[in-house]
Every structure is written in C-alpha cells, then in structure tokens.
Amino acid sequence: MIDEALLEAIEKMEKAVEHVQAQFSSVRTGRASPVLVERILADYYGSPVPIQQLASFQVPDSRTLVIKPHDKGAMTPIEKAIRDSDLNLQPNNDGVVIRINFPTLTEERRKEFVKVVKNMAEDGRIAVRNVRRDVRKSLETAEKSSDISKDELERAEKDLEKLTHDHVESIDKGFTRKEQELLEV
C-alpha cells in the first residue's frame, strides 16, 4: 500500500517537473529556437495542427529561425499562427520558407521574462505539493482504517517529504538555469 502510494507520488511529481521544464523551454531567451514555435497550433484545412507536424526547422544563426513547410498549402496558416501568437514575432514568407528574425531582448523585457518563468516555477512547486497533500491524505486514511500502522505512516511521510523536497529542488535548479540564460546578454 505504502510503496504504491509513493510510486504514484514519484510518477506525478516527475510529470509536474517535466511540465515545468517544457514551459521553461518555451520562454524566449533572445536566441532562435524551434521550441518557441513548434507547439503553436496552425489552422490546417480546418483542424488545429502543431507547426512541428507541418514543417521542419533550421537555425542558420542565433537570431534567425527558418521554417520549411512540408506542404506549400501550410505556408499561410503557419505564418498567420505565428503572427497571432503572443510571442510578438513577425514571420517573413518568401514563398518557399518562412523566416523569423529574433530581435535582441531589452533588459526590461528580460526581467519580464524572468517574472514569467518565476511564476511557472511556483506553479510547478504548487503541483508537487498538491501531490504530496493527496498522497498524505490517502496514507492517513489507510492508517485510520488500520491498513497501516502509525510507525509505517510516519516513515512513509518522511519518504514523501524527501521526494517533495527533491522535486521542488529540481524545479528550483531549472528556474535558476533559465534565469541565468535570460539575463545573459
């Protein structure tokens, strides 16, 4: 019973950490990266489709991203989806590929991005703590119904606390890395 609950907690906490890391990678650092646009949904023949399924990406230099659609019919929807996104990017369509030039980030904009990343990290920490709370409730319920002893509950809570601490620390390390990357000029 305890092992199952702890394994479930590990699995859910790891998913929360992975989600936060994926969110971190979607925040712009002034360098061109396909990660920024690949998950944007383009309206392709009436269906929302992620751009990564419609095109290939190249990064010829640190400030340019080239998107080459597999189908010429996807060119306009991809361009429109990028323009309409909240990334504030202006794609240039030359009929064969779409080029996106990334402007350098101002110090003010970098600090705004740090705040955004900080909020993402806090959301991740909250998700991990919610998993801890849910597992702790199920363990306490099991102890009340005499499925586990008081000592087993205490040991399991210590293990759960260590798991929580480790996963929150992992999120914090990811935040620190992303913050340094954002503030790097």
pLDDT (tens digit per residue) in 24-38: 887 777 677 888 888
pLDDT computed for residue 161 by the predictor:
95
Q: Find how far residue 13's CA is from the centre of its chain.
A: 14
Residue 70 backbone zone (phi > 0: left; psi -120 to 50: alpha; other: beta): alpha
74 in the same domain as 50: yes
Query: What's residue 57's pLDDT?
Result: 93
> Are 112 and 172 contained in the same domain?
yes
Q: Are residues 44 and 82 in the same domain?
A: yes
- What is the Cβ-side half-sphere exposure of residue 10, based on CA atoms within 13 angstroms? 9
pLDDT attached to residue 185: 65
For residue 44, the domain's CATH number is 3.30.1360.40
Average pLDDT, stretch 107-130? 91
pLDDT per position as a tens digit, 65-114: 999 999 988 999 999 999 988 777 889 999 899 999 887 778 888 888 88
**Closest among 176, 163, 140 to 1, alpha carbons compared:** 140
Domain that holds residue 113: 2-25+106-183
- pLDDT of 121 > 90? The answer is yes
